[in-house]
Amino acid sequence: MNWIDVQRVFASDGQPDDASLQRWVDTALAALNEDTEIVVRIVGIEESAELNSYYRAKQGPTNILSFPFEAPDIDGFESALLGDLVVCAPVLATEAEQQGKPLLDHWAHIIIHGVLHLLGYDHIDEADAEEMENKEIVFLQQLTIRNPYLQVTDHER
C-alpha cells in the first residue's frame, strides 16, 4: 500500500484533491511491490525559491523538488518512506497555462515525475531523460492523459 501525507501550506484554485494525488502516486508505484510513504507538500513561490536556492543552488521557484529519504545506517532500522515532494502550485498553474495544458493533467505529470525521482530516475543526460520521459508517458496514458511532451497547436486547445 502507498500512503501519502499531503501538507497544504499554500492555498490556490485548481489544486488536486488528496484522492487524485493518491491515484497518481499509486500509478507511478504500481510495479513496486512494497509498502511506501510519500510526503507531498504544496507550497508557494517563496518556499519553493528558498528550497531551490538552498538545495540546488538555483535562483527562483521550480515546479517540483524531490527529496529521497536516506535511511540512517542503524541495524534493524526500517522505513517505508520514499521521500518528500515539494510542489509549487503557482509555478504549475503558470506552466499549464503557458503550455496550453489542463491544470490537473500537469499536476499528474509533475507528481509522477517527482515520484520517479524518488525512485532514482533522473534526466541529467539524454539517455536517462528519454527513459524517464517514456515512463511518464506510459503512466499518464494509463490515466488517459495525453503525452505532455507533444506540442499542442492552437486548434487543439
Strand-pairing partners, residue 66, are: 85
CA distance 80 to 83: 9
- The position carrying cell 529521497 is 68
DSSP 8-state code for residue 156: G
Q: What band does 34 get if pLDDT is binned at 50, 70 and 90?
A: confident
pLDDT score for 151: 66
Pairing verdict, β 2-8 and 64-68: unpaired
pTM for the model stands at: 0.91
Residue type, 51: L
What end-to-end distance do the CA atoms of the chain give, in Å? 37
DSSP 8-state code for residue 5: E
110-141 confidence digits (pLDDT tens): 999 999 999 999 888 888 889 999 999 999 99
78-91 confidence digits (pLDDT tens): 778 899 999 999 99
**Is 59 or 31 the better-scoring residue by pLDDT?**
59
In residues, how long is the chain? 157
H or E segment to which residue 149 belongs? none
Pairing verdict, β 64-68 and 81-88: antiparallel
